[in-house]
Structure 1
């Protein structure tokens, strides 16, 4: 098929229908044979548990075109394992890593014409998800499930790419203590819609959530993970049972240590101790890295490195991570899965 003739460098983080998506049904105690379909509409029972009780989870990952024309999937095994944990938390059947990765590769190859070219600021975003469906009304696990993967060509989540943004501390909680904060489930994100909208109305990029138990420690940045770098060059990621274990977060922890020589810790980040950090950022599959210029808290804006310039460690981490994802820098063992698509007919 012909090129979709998109302006690859001007894509936002928006939905766009692509050619094919993967769908697989769980019935009679097992996953059935999956298939690719042009239909981007799911047909559900009105009693589906996904609609009434939030029994669903999802993942986010990206495919990248490399300089040599090959296609990289970045750490899909980690996404597969996290989806297993999310499914288990919500009493849904798990999808094996082999099934998950194969479905993702099928979707990438079926929509290769939507994969942005090497050197653009864009990538092909994959959205795998599992939902509870079937006729039901009681509060129980669903009688049937759907596993689906679709893709969308996207640009950066935050406008402007790698530029500092300011954030505000939210009075809302993202997730309950001992709740589903560590699982990638829709309810966590639905709860963030109002706080995020209020933050943007006040001219901030998004809000930052504190721990729900004491409201003294930073946990998450909108729909992304938080990190900070101390004045003595320690990379810190918040430690909490309700923080989502992000793949980008885990990758930055490793790269900060192995490639930048920083000490790394997962520890509490107290909101009243922001002066201990010289740089801070938000990280995730969609955001990649968004430098945090300042955090509004207690009536004042605490600025880290700068509101206008990216800190040197954040810049190096971004370059290292993107270089690995795009195939320009050697990846640590097991980080990249090649997607070998058949030549177009």
Structure 2
């Protein structure tokens, strides 16, 4: 194989692939590391969409090169059936920076890889960082759907205000998400095999010694194909109620998606998993009686066909899947209440389920509280959770009409 010629052809392909984005003032393409196509394997499962690449037919050789890409771009060569919720390195990441003037520079695509940070960066020393999570799904015709990306953009902006950080505009955020998904299109799993998890990060990358906002910020997005978050899939999970450690306190940062919220749950979560539980359900830190959320999920309780979930009051993350499930449930005629829910109500519920970007909807098979275990139903997968899971995932994957206007289609 002539590697130098192949690299030129790869670069030609990249320029063609992103030519519609060339006029976007927010973005550029930067490939700072050698592209080694010999390390990448492809397989084809969907017909090529000719709008993806502008083919120059002046010479037979270029036509052959273009045909090769047409056949190669659809899927990476991995075992889609074995996907779990773990990192699979992909081709590209997106990055842009913001200095003290509060304006973000022109963003660019870079090959996926390590980044450089000062030992004195704000994110490393003072935890000045936020992240988001959203997914892209492949439809049967090969096109790709994003689910409510503007909601993630708005939540990041809300969190950034709390953490004294500048944030990309909604337009910048959504355009960057579209760009990174299309750059890694071959890593979007076939329909029914999973999704492409999208992880936007906003961090204080500038050096700062004293406690203060960082002088520079980096917005970065990477992606990874994923399967189910819990190995059980839609099968019921088993939770334990934590009454010693707390995830958040009133007036703190529990209501924003800051990185510190997640490190604080690791101790209780690790202990719970060592005892065979799937995860931990936290109570409020004041009364130690009212439900808050699971480590990275919101929780719902069903009793007498009424769906209840803890109200958003500063200590609970306003989940986008949570918000969507409430709207879907209401559209199906369910009564939904957002209020305080005591642990006693939890133990007396007909059905319990969790929601989140990673899990979508996860039914709860049992809850253990102070050594007492309560199980829900014969199989743990309740009618309500199964109904809502089916409705939302069908919408996300383009299997049903999106009457909510939540999905964004990429071609």
> Shared fold by TM > 0.5?
yes
Q: Structure 1: state its 5+ residue gaps.
A: 341-345
> CA-atom RMSD, angstroms?
1.2
1:135 deviates by 2.0
Residue number among 211, 214, 217 corresponding to 2:284 in the alignment: 211
Residue number among 84, 91, 100 corresponding to 2:157 in the alignment: 84
1:28 deviates by 4.2
Structure 2 Cα separation of the partners of residues 33 and 304 of structure 1:
52
Residue number among 59, 66, 77 corresponding to 2:132 in the alignment: 59
Structure 2 Cα separation of the partners of residues 269 and 63 of structure 1:
33
Residue 123 (1) aligns with residue 170 (2): no
Q: Paired residue for 1:169? A: 241
Over alpha carbons, which structure has the higher Rg?
Answer: 2
Residue 101 (1) aligns with residue 146 (2): no
Q: Paired residue for 2:20? A: none
Structure 1 Cα separation of the partners of residues 121 and 82 of structure 2:
38
Residue 182 (1) aligns with residue 266 (2): no
Structure 2 Cα separation of the partners of residues 238 and 266 of structure 1:
6
Residue number among 361, 373, 383 corresponding to 1:312 in the alignment: 383
**What are the superposed Cα offsets for residues 255-295 of structure 1, whole Å, 9 maximum, x if unpaired?**
11102x11011011100222542111111000111111111
Contact 2:239 2:366 in 1 (8 A): yes
1:9 deviates by 2.1
Normalised by the length of structure 1, the TM-score is: 0.95
Q: Paired residue for 2:71? A: none
The structure with more helix, counted as a fraction of residues? 2
Structure 2 Cα separation of the partners of residues 10 and 221 of structure 1:
26
Residue number among 288, 293, 301 corresponding to 1:228 in the alignment: 301
Residue 329 (1) aligns with residue 405 (2): no
**Superposed, which structure 2 residues align to 1:1-345 within 5 Å?**
2=42, 3-29=75-101, 30-120=103-193, 122-170=194-242, 171-231=244-304, 233-239=305-311, 240-259=313-332, 261-306=333-378, 308-340=379-411
Three-state SS of the structure 2 residue aligned to 1:151 is strand
Contact 1:274 1:302 in 2 (8 A): no
Count residues with an aligned counterpart.
336
Greater relative contact order structure (CA < 8 Å, 6+ sep): 1
